[in-house]
Structure 1
Amino acid sequence: MAITHHVPTRCALAAALFASAFATQAQGTETITITGTAERLPAFAGFPGQTDARTPLQAQSWNAERLADENVTRLGDITRLDAGVSEAYDATGYWAGLSVRGYTLDNRFNVRREGLPVSGETAFALENKEAVELLKGASGMQAGTSAPGGLVNLRVKRPVAGKRSATVWWEGSSTTGAAVDLGDRSGPDGAFGWRVNAAYEDMEPRLHDTDGHRRLLAVALDWQLNPGSLVEFEIEHSRQQQPSAAGYSLRGNTVPDAHDINLLTNLNHQPWNGPVEMEGTTASLRWRQRLAEDWQLRAQAMVQKLRTDDRTAFPYGVYDANYECADWCDRFAPDGSFTYWQYVSLNERRDSTALELAASGTARTGAVEHAIEFGALRSRYRGRFEDQIFDIAGTGKDDGSLVSPPSAGYPDANTNRDETSTEFFLRDAMTLPGGWSLWAGLRHTRLARESWRTSADSDGSLRATDYDQAVTTPWMALAWQWTAATMVYASWGRGVESAVVPNRPRYANAGQALPALKSRQREIGLKHAGASVDASLALFQIERPRTGELNAGCDGDVDDSCRLGVVGEQRHRGVEASVVWRTGAVDWRASAMLLDAVRHESGSGDGLRPENVPARTLRLGADWRVAGLLLQADLRAEGDRVVLPYDDSVRIPGWASLDLGARWTQALAGGRSITWRTGVDNVFDRKAWKESPYQFDHVYLYPLQSRTWRASASLKF
């Protein structure tokens, strides 16, 4: 639903190193050729040509096979793969909500596809994705404006020779699906390549009243014009229709016991409600040209067009017919009752375009070797909406027993938005004598944003706002190659977010742009890549400005009684660690994060731990290969989470969950094979609250997914 609205620091071991988030790009003397797989993009984190193990950044990359083994079918599922990633209002049937290092990612600005900005306010199909990549920490060097937790990048599948596979699967109650992945090369020396991915799924999860369906069709083409020139094009269209899952909440002042509630009940179920429909088409075109020895030009463009029909029977506080709330405004009543609000926002359109031109190569100044990338990015976002309904319907209860009448259907204005961003960037990885290296990056961003209501107020006002802003975000790191396999580093960088005071009568400074909200990050780390062990360790601190009401006498019903501004900052100080240990037949995986998150601000929130941020997270896994069979076990565990932004004593307890899986590849005649997968998530059917987002000024509780069996078969032919 989209509505416009001191603990000591501890250290830990854990988290899995990444194999290819910063894959090596062709060096200048090498020809851009295609031999089985398309040449990979420069890593979206920057510094093309550098290997991950020797880059002073913390990142992760999960390829398509790993995603299939771990049953990652939607973007929100990557929380099971890394301890640094967690849920943040991640509802079934809706777009993914993620946090990294405790900061919630902004779906408008923290999502990339093929390295270019796209809106994350949609459901991404993963059947045509080669990898999901994650950059952790402040990302001002990689993105003009973004939340400081990190960036997510989706990398699509590119043409390969002789690709033929078909997959069918079953999951949960009766979810079934099928997908095909076809590709080949033709022409002189395989100069032309194509790949097609198609998928369809009927969704019948164990969670009641969330049945739906989705489909995907994607095509990727490339053409090797000559040994130094490559053109790549891809397009995908997807559609998903499924009711979303509404969250539970506090019962009065009490966190309800998850064992006392039927967690398979979807509170977003009323006769007058409908599904959320998300449809999207995205296309990109990229040209890479070798300019000279050791230098390459890259030009790429992307267009994304999204359409959404958002419908929700929304549990929200306890209100009367006059929209008055006496006691339980941000939670349910002690008996579990609440007010249903009917939310309908149809024909939401979000269009994004991006064009990037960049050059990369190497140079030498004396004893210093430079790996340089510089370029420019122009992007635009347009959000067009119609009037919405958000009105009181009736009374509900958290056991799902009450049927509510629909609302009167009074329309309310929505908000249209435009944004244009022009960014210039420069990055340089400098190799110094004695095993030292210096890394530096700089991005300058010029923003132009405006918004206006979809219908006028009684005084004829559209509450229009517009502003321009220019920001510069630096990043630098110093690294030392301790041994051939081990690097230590220290880094510092900035990120930035941009905000405007809502143009509402309550604000005396309505419509004014706030100063650029600059976050900053300091990090010290170690990375090791050996024959049998990959490991990393990072100590980080991220500070981010917090906005809020500047005056104590703010009254939402009184004009000009409030002023919005920066009231302090939120500091996340933590340590995250990871290890992958290969011991013959068994691969051991572990990742962990300990996080000391605290708010420093004026008012009653000073010194409190932020809501919905776990202080401890752990991911453990083992892959055991025996007699052609791969057996998997994964343990996920998290500590407690704060529920309220103004009282950190109210918390949901921590939890742990075990997943098991198996994979067996059966060889067939003629070089064909079938890969069988089976597994069960939440083996012991643990009942617990997995997250507690305070969203739209209301407490919500989302449970762990109940025990779910799954099976699939993939034929290569």
Structure 2
Amino acid sequence: MSPGRKKSAAAASVLSFPSFLSPSSPSPVSFRRSPFGPPARATLLVLWAATLVGRTHAQEAAAAASLPTVTVTAESQDGTQQHLGAKVSSGALGARSQLETPFSTSVVRGEDMAERQVSKLGDVFALDASVSDNSGAYSAWASYITVRGLPLDWQNGYRINGQPFLSYAITLPYEHFEQIELLKGSSGFMYGFGAPGGIVNYVTKKPTDQSVRSIEVGYKTAGIWSEHVDLGGRFGTDNRFGYRLNATHEEGKTYNDGNVRRNSVSLGLDAKLTDKLTWTFDTLYQKRNTSGQTPSIYLGSYTGTQLPSTISASNQSLVGPGQHLNTDFRLYSTGLQYQLAPDWTLSTSYSHSSATRSRNEGIAYLQDAGGGYDDYRSDSAEGHRFNQWQAMVNGKLRTGDFEHRITLGTSWQKQVNYYSSNAVYQLIGTGSIFGQNTNGYATSTDFRTYRNSDITQRALFASDTLKLSDRWSVLAGLRSTTYEQIGYDTTGAQNSSYRKSGVITPTLALMYKPAPDTMLYTSYVESLEPGSTVSTMYANNGQLLNPLKSKQYELGVKTEHDRWSATAALFRIERGAEYANSSNVLVQDGRSIYQGLEVGASTWLGSQWQIGGNLMLLDSSYERGSSYIGNRVAGAPKLVATAQVSYLVPQVPGLKLSADMKYTGNTMLNASNQLNLPGYTVANIGASYTTRIAGHSTTFRAAINNVTNRRYWEYQYDNYIKPGDPRTFSLSAKLDF
């Protein structure tokens, strides 16, 4: 029996739904208040499901002597934890499986996220050693991660279905995604301008041929209740029309006595207009309000060489009154795909996204090892708009004995940023991280935003994957980008500009497949990332810096089999260095080097045990012209290692137990290497149980993250730290109906 295709036995019984959960009655998920609020409905559903389980087992026992065993077979999506057969979006390269992509990638499936009960992006990629968590749940930093020691670019490093959006302070609804993909390293050819850390692509749930109907309720520490509905299927003549609707409500008290309230809804549609023409439409909306988030801790003025003792992120004493983060996010995208010929496809797409945020955030300027700080408060309103259009042709052709896989395309995108002309950033008092924050601040509600900057990119791109033989192939790609960035003052007058035409970013790769399930590759990519607009944290506030160039070299191998898979990659990334100097001026000086090794593997031991692990060894340094030649790059740990194990309990069919851990090595806080953040290990455990109740598949899940309640300082950004998230408990129950 294949370990990925376990069988479980259950007796079928006919049981009725309670009236408030009847499939014919209105959905229990509502964005309006009702007598059955989230806690009440969640509790009722869990109790009802537990009652059904007990009744089912009683009926099984009573009927065991006379009824034959009914066997139900469930199939998993694939047999390994690395999902190398999964398709990933590679921008200008189109969609390819991880195994066929000559770059290091990672895929986390929706089922993986549900089992581990994720709350932030660092949780999503917790089992990937190349990813370091810089995020904190329920804060403006919840989507911050570094990849291979490089921070992701919040303006260009995040996509939804391949379409760009501004990610800053946006925590997306993870329940709404089929999978989340990570393309590691430089991505200039695939996506245009962007930092070389990588690209995160969220893939929304799509219409399915089989009907999907499920409701899920959940609970998280210390009082957050959630409800999620997933509906999908096809209809019309020959099932030409498909839909997928997801809706989530989440509300309650966070682990540090703050509050969160989130409503989100997404809709995916497709229509087979003709046998050759398909139309798609996707939309996602989320309104998320949080309060009482833990402040960031800034060390730019810290004079010590050792950090104070760690504190817990659940410590309410650090939180001053008035702090909040309110975000509103909308995405609309549509596309057409036309089959020109059996091997040729023409596609075009357009997307529009907008994000607004009202943010009242505390920043503790740490002064000494005793924990004393100056308490600053940042209060502002901000917004972003992003529009993109793209057209692309994909196809195959032959020239003599060689086969070509061709991609040709063009794209246009425009980003508009809005910031507050009357934003507040001021000292409101002093305090200690070990005592109660008593500093008061009256939040402003009358912020006036102005158009701060426009960023436009126009690009032409082409690639050819030349198949030399059954084993050897070569990829060559080229993107030409015209990049323009214009800044405005509060009166609307232009005060800065940068324009670069015909910027060429190439990619090259050589691939060798000794077997259909194994690929060796070597690749080269260049990227150019937008220059920073210097923030208020630095002495040169408001200055627009020039774009930075980066180069990446990679040598790797990927292999996937029925019972095991493995990956390995050697890489070197050269990037222009950007950091704050001793005068607190943000400068571009010299270059930073990141080189290292990534290895990962997953395997089944027998039919019940599955184990996996990841390792990254990283050597980083500032070189050539930098004031800090030879120093380690800030935010780049030398060693990260992960391990995971799961066990299918044979005595209880459908029960799965799991555990994982991640060690993050010591990390430099800034370019001067004055402060070294110690390494730490975070361990998690979980369990899931899938059974059939009244003929319906039902899944119960439980998870404990940071099971030992480890306290540690986490690198957040250059000269910023935060206390690591504390131990949290999660429970959920999902019913397919």
TM-score, normalising length: structure 2: 0.82
User: 1:270 corresponds to which letter in structure 2?
Assistant: G
Q: Does 1:240 align with 2:288?
A: yes
State which drifts further: 495-504 or 192-201: 495-504
Deviations 1:65-109 (A, max 9, x none): 111112223333223131111123556422411111110011101
Deviations 1:186-210 (A, max 9, x none): 111211111211101114222x232
Match of 2:466 among 426, 430, 433: 430
1:114 match: 161
Deviations 1:617-647 (A, max 9, x none): 1111112112321111111111111123213
| Secondary structure at 2:125 match in 1 | helix
Alignment gaps of 5+ in structure 2: 1-79
User: 1:113 corresponds to which letter in structure 2?
Assistant: I
CA distance change for structure 1 residues 684 and 508 in 2, over 3 Å: closer, same or farther?
Answer: closer
CA distance change for structure 1 residues 266 and 420 in 2, over 3 Å: closer, same or farther?
Answer: farther
**In 2, Cα distance between the equivalents of 1:507 and 1:197?**
46
User: 2:725 corresponds to which letter in structure 1?
Assistant: Q
Shift in Å at residue 453 of structure 1? 2.4
**In 1, Cα distance between the equivalents of 2:684 and 2:657?**
11
Q: Are the counterparts in 2 of residues 587 and 624 from structure 1 also a CA contact under 8 Å? A: yes
1:394 match: 429
**In 2, Cα distance between the equivalents of 1:503 and 1:163?**
46
Match of 2:612 among 574, 589, 594: 589
1:339 match: 374
Shift in Å at residue 262 of structure 1? 4.6
Deviations 1:211-254 (A, max 9, x none): 12111011221111122221111212101111332134667515
**In 2, Cα distance between the equivalents of 1:218 and 1:234?**
7
User: 2:679 corresponds to which letter in structure 1?
Assistant: G
**In 1, Cα distance between the equivalents of 2:137 and 2:219?**
21
2:347 match: 298
Q: Are the counterparts in 1 of residues 488 and 496 from structure 2 also a CA contact under 8 Å? A: yes
Q: Are the counterparts in 2 of residues 383 and 416 from structure 1 also a CA contact under 8 Å? A: yes
1:369 match: 403
Shift in Å at residue 512 of structure 1? 7.2
Shift in Å at residue 337 of structure 1? 2.0
CA distance change for structure 1 residues 163 and 692 in 2, over 3 Å: closer, same or farther?
Answer: closer
2:515 match: 483
Match of 1:660 among 685, 692, 696: 685
CA distance change for structure 1 residues 340 and 130 in 2, over 3 Å: closer, same or farther?
Answer: same
**In 2, Cα distance between the equivalents of 1:408 and 1:437?**
60
Shift in Å at residue 167 of structure 1? 0.3
Q: Does 1:444 align with 2:480?
A: yes
Shift in Å at residue 54 of structure 1? 2.9
Q: Are the counterparts in 1 of residues 92 and 461 from structure 2 also a CA contact under 8 Å? A: no
Match of 2:315 among 254, 265, 276: 265
**Percent identity (aligned):** 26
User: 1:201 corresponds to which letter in structure 2?
Assistant: E
Shift in Å at residue 464 of structure 1? 0.9
| Secondary structure at 2:361 match in 1 | strand
1:142 match: 190
2:64 match: none
Q: Does 1:421 align with 2:453?
A: no
User: 1:712 corresponds to which letter in structure 2?
Assistant: S
User: 2:523 corresponds to which letter in structure 1?
Assistant: S
1:5 match: none
2:56 match: none
**In 2, Cα distance between the equivalents of 1:277 and 1:601?**
43
- How many positions carry a matched residue from both structures? 644
User: CA RMSD for the aligned pairs?
Assistant: 2.8
**In 2, Cα distance between the equivalents of 1:63 and 1:341?**
40
1:27 match: none
1:289 match: 338
Match of 1:307 among 345, 356, 379: 356
Shift in Å at residue 488 of structure 1? 1.4
**In 1, Cα distance between the equivalents of 2:518 and 2:90?**
23
Match of 1:623 among 623, 646, 669: 646
Shift in Å at residue 424 of structure 1? 1.2
1:691 match: 715
**In 1, Cα distance between the equivalents of 2:603 and 2:206?**
31
Q: Are the counterparts in 1 of residues 577 and 592 from structure 2 also a CA contact under 8 Å? A: yes
1:96 match: 143
2:667 match: 641
**In 2, Cα distance between the equivalents of 1:241 and 1:49?**
35
Match of 1:216 among 261, 264, 285: 264
User: 2:625 corresponds to which letter in structure 1?
Assistant: S
**In 1, Cα distance between the equivalents of 2:533 and 2:281?**
40
CA distance change for structure 1 residues 184 and 91 in 2, over 3 Å: closer, same or farther?
Answer: closer
**In 2, Cα distance between the equivalents of 1:180 and 1:361?**
38
State which drifts further: 51-60 or 522-531: 51-60
TM-score, normalising length: structure 1: 0.84
Q: Are the counterparts in 1 of residues 163 and 388 from structure 2 also a CA contact under 8 Å? A: yes
Q: Are the counterparts in 1 of residues 126 and 133 from structure 2 also a CA contact under 8 Å? A: no
CA distance change for structure 1 residues 267 and 98 in 2, over 3 Å: closer, same or farther?
Answer: farther
Q: Does 1:529 align with 2:560?
A: yes
| Secondary structure at 2:466 match in 1 | strand
**In 2, Cα distance between the equivalents of 1:555 and 1:619?**
39
**In 2, Cα distance between the equivalents of 1:511 and 1:242?**
31
Shift in Å at residue 18 of structure 1? 3.4
Match of 1:359 among 354, 374, 393: 393
**In 1, Cα distance between the equivalents of 2:706 and 2:534?**
43
User: 1:283 corresponds to which letter in structure 2?
Assistant: Y
Shift in Å at residue 362 of structure 1? 0.5
Q: Are the counterparts in 1 of residues 92 and 409 from structure 2 also a CA contact under 8 Å? A: no
**In 1, Cα distance between the equivalents of 2:285 and 2:626?**
48
User: 2:119 corresponds to which letter in structure 1?
Assistant: T
2:637 match: 614
User: 2:166 corresponds to which letter in structure 1?
Assistant: S
**In 2, Cα distance between the equivalents of 1:385 and 1:693?**
21
**In 1, Cα distance between the equivalents of 2:163 and 2:474?**
26
| Secondary structure at 1:644 match in 2 | coil
Shift in Å at residue 513 of structure 1? 6.3
Deviations 1:521-579 (A, max 9, x none): 11111111122221111000000011468xx9x978xxxxx8x8642100000000111
2:84 match: 19
CA distance change for structure 1 residues 621 and 678 in 2, over 3 Å: closer, same or farther?
Answer: same
CA distance change for structure 1 residues 403 and 656 in 2, over 3 Å: closer, same or farther?
Answer: same
Shift in Å at residue 45 of structure 1? 4.4
1:132 match: 180
User: 1:361 corresponds to which letter in structure 2?
Assistant: G
Q: Does 1:105 align with 2:152?
A: yes
Alignment of 1:54-93 (within 5 A): 54-88=100-134, 90=136, 92-93=138-139
Q: Are the counterparts in 1 of residues 574 and 594 from structure 2 also a CA contact under 8 Å? A: yes
1:709 match: 729
User: 2:701 corresponds to which letter in structure 1?
Assistant: R
1:673 match: 697
**In 1, Cα distance between the equivalents of 2:332 and 2:124?**
24
Shift in Å at residue 403 of structure 1? 1.0
User: 1:427 corresponds to which letter in structure 2?
Assistant: S
Q: Are the counterparts in 1 of residues 121 and 135 from structure 2 also a CA contact under 8 Å? A: no
Deviations 1:365-424 (A, max 9, x none): 111111111111111111122221111211122124241243898999987111111111
**In 2, Cα distance between the equivalents of 1:488 and 1:303?**
38
Q: Which has the higher helix share?
A: 2
Shift in Å at residue 474 of structure 1? 0.2
Deviations 1:313-334 (A, max 9, x none): 2222xxxxxxxxxxxxxx3234
Q: Does 1:253 align with 2:304?
A: yes
Match of 2:242 among 190, 193, 199: 193
Q: Are the counterparts in 1 of residues 418 and 453 from structure 2 also a CA contact under 8 Å? A: yes
**In 2, Cα distance between the equivalents of 1:621 and 1:412?**
49
